[in-house]
Structure 1
Amino acid sequence: MARYIGPKTKIARIFGEAIFGADKYLDRKNFPPGQHGLARKRKKVSEYGIQLKEKQKAKAIYGVLEKQFRRTFEEAARLGGITGANLLILLESRLDNVVYRMGIAPTRAAARQLVSHRHITVNGEVLNIPSYRVKAGEVIGVREKSKSLEVIAGAVASANSSRYSWIEWNKETMSGRFIQKPERSEITENINEQLIVELYSK
């Protein structure tokens, strides 16, 4: 699958913000990447360009490719209500994102890898589909023989999953419950979803 595996700071510099978390390199180079950086004359960005950039940012944050992102948007539109809010709530309900929010992995990319490599269980059964939509009440845990993995143990030790009201987490058993889908107001990612809706509505 064509996923970007290069330096995360390079992507963050495109958007001018630390979309992958704290980034000491971005603090030093908070300008667009490229040979000339800020010195290069840049054209005024069109309305379409602004909308496209916001979509690309959302895709980068959640680690979703275009085809899957478009399908998620179409599902959000079918749900009724506010399409943009539905989109972010559906993205937050992905298994890889829930694993990340619970603190089992330090990043969403690491969470996706843990799921793909069969280290994560849903209701006691191993599930290796990162895009699986977690339902309210389902229990997410670490496979017994995977609990000693350094990446998991390190992430769990330093995580603070209690800051998310829609998630319950038990550090002792390394398992948690997805209580409910979050409200849009609870999702802290800096995404203007209305721009994405306008882009897809063209």
Structure 2
Amino acid sequence: MGDPKKMKKHYESPKKPLERSRLEEERKIVTEYGIRRKKEIRRLETIIRDLRRRARTLIATKDEKESKILIEKVIKMGLLAKSNPVLEDILGIELKDILERRLQMLIVKKGLANTVLQARQFITHGHITVDGQKIISPNYIVTMAEESGIVFRPTSSLNATFKRVEKREDREKREAKEALEKKARETTDKKEAQLAEIVDEEAIKEVESDIV
């Protein structure tokens, strides 16, 4: 039965964990997605591997009922965005697709954290709830239905103290938009002024013609 105190491993280890290309790719993922432990990546890879394995089996057996259930499950996970997906689309799911569905990443996208590392800290310290349930795992996969329910815990001090830092690209977009709006207003004002001058000139001509 095994040692009850020893937790069961819920992921598969790669066949070549020390392969140079794999190590470089994992280093990029760790930096971009704020991952602390390689086993977090392993668990996500295992989820994708299981989905692909199940899809290949259903493609071979042509079980329509089970195929529909699997496709609906993957859609709910937010891993298939295209309309009318088929089993073959599941085979094309990549690691990046599921990394983007992690709670840690979605918190940053929703503006509840300024960086992925800050998002991880907020989660592990118990500041985040999903549909009213406190989640302390940054690797938690958020379903499409749960995404709108990601908020700070009602009793969290961050509700009053957290301030979002505007990203550089967001600031540049906002400033460009404001510049265009300002230019449009100036153009409108100039046209209105020119139109007013034309009206005044015509009014003067009418008065002069009446006098004559």
- TM-score class, shorter: 0.3 to 0.5
TM-score, scaled to structure 2: 0.46
The structure whose Rg is larger is: 2
Name the structure, 1 or 2, with higher relative contact order (CA <8 Å, separation 6+): 1
Q: Greater strand percent: which structure? A: 1
Q: Greater helix percent: which structure? A: 2
